Amino acid sequence: MDEQSVRIVIVEDDKVIREGYRFLIGEKQGYQVINTYSTAEQAIKKLHEDNPDLVMLDVGLPGISGIEAIPKIKSILPQVLILICTVHDTEEIIFRALANGASGYLTKNSSAVKIMESIREIMQGGASMSANVAQLVIRSFQRNSHSPLSRRETQILEEIAKGKNRRVIADELFIDNETVKSHIKNIYAKLNVHSKADAIRTAKENKLI
Angle, vertex CA 93, rays to CA 88 and CA 98, nearest 5: 115
Q: Please tell me whether residues 111 and 67 are part of one structural domain.
A: yes
Per-residue pLDDT of the chain (209 residues; tens, 9 = 90+): 445 789 999 999 999 999 999 999 988 999 999 999 999 999 999 999 999 999 999 999 999 999 999 999 999 999 999 999 998 877 778 888 888 999 999 988 889 999 999 999 999 998 888 877 877 776 666 666 678 998 899 989 999 999 999 999 998 888 999 999 999 999 999 999 999 999 999 998 888 88
What pLDDT shows up at residue 113? 93
Q: What is the CATH number of the domain that holds 157?
A: 1.10.10.10
Choose one of 136, 158, 181: the last residue of a domain.
136
What pLDDT shows up at residue 142? 61
Q: Please tell me whether residues 106 and 186 are part of one structural domain.
A: no
Choose one of 108, 136, 164: the last residue of a domain.
136
Choose one of 77, 106, 136: the last residue of a domain.
136
**10 Å Cβ neighbour count for 138?**
9
Query: Quick check: is 184 in a domain?
Result: yes
Query: Quick check: is 19 in a domain?
Result: yes
d(Cα 32, Cα 3) in Å, to the nearest integer? 10
What pLDDT shows up at residue 1? 41
Q: Please tell me whether residues 191 and 108 are part of one structural domain.
A: no
Range of the domain at 160: 144-205
End-to-end CA distance of the chain: 49
What pLDDT shows up at residue 197? 93
Beta carbons within 8 Å of 19's beta carbon, 6+ residues apart: 36
Tell me the Ramachandran region of residue 85: left when phi exceeds 0, alpha when psi lies from -120 to 50, beta otherwise.
Answer: beta
Residue 86 · residue 58 · CB < 8 Å: yes
DSSP string, 149-172: S-HHHHHHHHHHHTT--HHHHHHH
Q: Please tell me whether residues 169 and 117 are part of one structural domain.
A: no
Q: Please tell me whether residues 55 and 119 are part of one structural domain.
A: yes
Residue 63 · residue 13 · CB < 8 Å: no
Q: Please tell me whether residues 68 and 129 are part of one structural domain.
A: yes
Query: Quick check: is 115 in a domain?
Result: yes
d(Cα 189, Cα 202) in Å, to the nearest integer? 12
Residue 104 · residue 121 · CB < 8 Å: yes
d(Cα 134, Cα 23) in Å, to the nearest integer? 27
Q: Please tell me whether residues 128 and 188 are part of one structural domain.
A: no
| pTM more than 0.95 | no
How crowded is the C-beta side of 144, counted as CA atoms within 13 Å? 14
Total number of domains constituting the chain: 2
Tell me the Ramachandran region of residue 145: left when phi exceeds 0, alpha when psi lies from -120 to 50, beta otherwise.
Answer: alpha
Query: Quick check: is 132 in a domain?
Result: yes
**10 Å Cβ neighbour count for 35?**
17
Which residue type is seen at 119?
Answer: I
Query: Quick check: is 46 in a domain?
Result: yes
Q: Please tell me whether residues 174 and 99 are part of one structural domain.
A: no
Q: What is the CATH number of the domain that holds 130?
A: 3.40.50.2300
Q: Please tell me whether residues 64 and 108 are part of one structural domain.
A: yes
Q: Please tell me whether residues 38 and 87 are part of one structural domain.
A: yes
Residue 85 pairs in a beta bridge with 106
Q: Please tell me whether residues 21 and 86 are part of one structural domain.
A: yes
Q: Please tell me whether residues 128 and 159 are part of one structural domain.
A: no
Query: Quick check: is 1 in a domain?
Result: no
